[in-house]
Copies of this chain bind each other. A is one copy, B any other.
Amino acid sequence: AVPAPQGCGSPSDGGSSSGSESSKDSSRCSTPVLDAERHERLREKMRRRQDSGDRWFSLEFFPPRTANAAVNLISRFDRMGAGGPLFIDVTWHPAGDPGSDKETSSMIIANTAVNYCGLETILHMTCCNQTKDDITGHLQKAKRLGLKNIMALRGDPAGEEWEEEVDGFNYAVDLVKHIRNEFDDYFDICVAGYPKGHPEAESYEADLKHLKEKVLAGADFIITQLFFRSETFLKFMKDCQAIGITCPIIPGIFPIQGYHSLRQLVKLSKLEVPQEIKDVIEPIKDNDAAIRNYGIELAVSMCRELLDSGVVHGLHFYTLNREVATTEVLKRLGLWKEDPRRPLPWAVSAHPKRRVEDVRPIFWASRPKSYIYRTQEWDDFPNGRWGNSSSPAFGELKDYYLFYLKSKSPREELLKMWGEELTGEESVFEVFTCYITGEPNKNGHKVTCMPWNDDPLATETNLLKEQLEKVNRRGILTINSQPNINGKPSTDPIVGWGPSGGYVFQKAYLEFFTSSEIVTALLKVLKKYESRVNYHIVNVKGQNITNAPDLQPNAVTWGIFPGREIIQPTVVDPVSFLSWKDEAFALWIEQWAKLYEEESPSRMIIQYIHDNYYLVNLVDNDFPLENCLWQVVDDTFELLNSPQPEPSEVLR
């Protein structure tokens, strides 16, 4: 009984050559596949889910009208992204300058979703009444920004008397052809399907033929217009298959969220609301909550029918930029999956250039969007090893006011948290301490964010809460930290990441601002820990004190997985620390000092800290032992409290 060979994709399968026939260039410096999905196109992801039987959902949003609404929408992307959509899509409104650089344009919202929220994103695009050059320009820009998927639409003709232009873009199929002509296979293309037929089509059958033309022209999948009965979709799907449409067809689900939004949508889409729905809604039309609850029930039961049919694998939701109804429907369907497993300890970006990225400096742990922004011009990203980075060129801080680097909270809110009036360095210590403890400050306000951290304390940091509180109270103003971890399972809900079956590790890390007096004592204490603790200490002027060997990066988070190379996603890098330093010090001024009047004592206190404090980071290299960084800090305070040292002992 000789075992039969099993393929497994081996290149030498069945052959006896040494495999030296292919290029050797491809043999090194290539990409690990920690998370296969990160490397797949949307259509491949869809195929993989279909093959594995995993059901999925996607979410549609429209561009917001104001900058504030944009900030809110991006927070919503982060929150709804946590439920695990396969993709989101952003609609295109020709009247709203959708391809511009405005923070509210379709293009920029989609850019933010892909790059900063790490979401697979489809950008809608319409072609009606637009020149070929305009359209090509939009597509080139989308590609440049890292967008990989286009929903190709005709769009509504301007004016009533629309006539076909010869050689113009009259139908979505023209746009599909154009994308394939000009961009080959770069984009995944989605087109719209009309379960009841397009309102302007000659007939349902004629519309099906148009749909087939769009697919033949190069569309990869279809998302349908909304509908009210599952039979409508299932019949449509059968009819599509009957005329030879084989690509995925995704039903568009519209949970009714209110009387007016329903009426408006119906008017636009020229659909008829079934009598049985009207009968329910009309009597409760002024009760928003009742309508929404009914909408949720209706959507859930229709979705169940669709999924039970066996031919539907994914559901597309028209969210109307709202969260509650869609999230509720998804939760009831069991499709909302807040997966505690993360592919890497930090949130990955979905830009194709960043597919291989698997190492980042720890400094931006609480500001991932800022890190992505400051590295957006990089042509390639570190993979496996950060390297002896003599100078990673981080983007300048001149665009500092870019909206998604600003605090999510308004000025009044920040003043309540960080103090209407500061009376000295101690009032600042107090703010840091309240942020750590979660207790209200002396005016009764909880401190839920800091200039360096827009969100409440991370779960992992909670493990260190007690010690953090103690040191912040005494002027060690912590902005980043992690405990040491010696081989916890990669599925650990708090510190785990990566595929299952692995082990994750961390070196203890502590980063803080502190006064030069404390730094002087700290440096004396650190001599005792010379071989164990690596430190970098820098002030705003860039005066830098470190014991890092040859300015090499220190890996502080890593994972060991079955059948894979080591992954070390987080490093303390001495060189990029100096870029982070600029940002970390600037945040004192930009976010905090500027809350107060010029020349006011409060502003001067922050300015004094900015000008005189040091930014310190400490790594305890002995990850299997108990974290010694608290001992280092205790020793420092003890030294400061001890009777005057000899003058010669004082560092100058």
Contact = CB atoms under 8 A, between A and B. Distances in A.
B552 A562 contact: no
Interface stretch (A53-61, A77-85, A531-539, A601-609): A531-539
A27 interface: yes
Given A4-B651, A562-B534, A382 B23 contact: no
A624 B650 CA distance: 46
Contacts of A621: 501, 561-563
Contact of A652 (B4, B380, B554): B4
Nearest to A388: B30
Contacts of A28: 380-382, 386-387, 389, 392
A257 interface: no
A242 interface: no
A24 B392 contact: yes
A5 interface: yes
A44 to B, nearest CB: 14
Contacts of A11: 390-391, 551, 575, 578
B387 A519 contact: no
A484 to B, nearest CB: 11
Interface stretch (A12-20, A111-119, A427-435): A12-20
Contacts of A460: none
A364 interface: no
Nearest to A521: B1
Given A384-B384, A389-B27, A552 B578 contact: no
Nearest to A39: B550
A29 interface: yes
B16 A542 contact: yes
A33 B550 contact: yes
Contacts of A390: 11, 22, 26-27, 30
A542 B12 contact: yes
Contacts of A388: 30-33
A14 B565 contact: no
Interface string A557-601: 010111111101001001110110010000000000000000000
Nearest to A558: B566
Contact of A23 (B14, B391, B561): B391
Nearest to A26: B390
A268 interface: no
A8 B519 contact: no
Contact of A393 (B20, B394, B560): B20
Nearest to A382: B28
Contact of A582 (B16, B24, B386): B16
A169 B147 CA distance: 67
A543 interface: yes
Contacts of A523: 3
Contacts of A19: 391-392, 394, 575-576, 578-579
Given A390-B11, A523-B3, A563 B545 contact: no
Contacts of A389: 26-28, 30
Contacts of A382: 28-29
B541 A563 contact: no
Contacts of A558: 560, 566
B520 A5 contact: no
Q: Chain A contact residues: over half helix, strand or loop, or mixed?
A: loop
Contacts of A624: 487, 503
The bracket for how many chain A residues form the interface is 35 or more
B8 A546 contact: yes
A378 interface: yes
Contacts of A10: 544, 546, 551, 574, 578
A553 B582 contact: no
A6 B28 CA distance: 39
A179 to B, nearest CB: 30
A539 B574 CA distance: 49
A505 interface: yes
Contacts of A21: 391
Given A391-B23, A392-B24, A564 B549 contact: yes
A307 interface: no
Contacts of A652: 1-4
Nearest to A651: B3
Contacts of A614: 3
A552 B563 contact: yes
B532 A8 contact: no
A579 B11 CA distance: 12
Nearest to A551: B9
B18 A578 contact: yes
Contact of A18 (B29, B531, B582): B582
Contact of A544 (B8, B487, B534): B8
A20 B396 contact: yes
Contacts of A575: 11, 19, 27
Given A19-B392, A28-B386, 19 more contacts: A1-B520, A3-B545, A3-B652, A4-B652, A16-B540, A19-B576, A20-B394, A22-B393, A23-B393, A27-B387, A27-B391, A28-B382, A29-B29, A29-B387, A33-B549, A534-B562, A555-B566, A561-B621, A563-B621
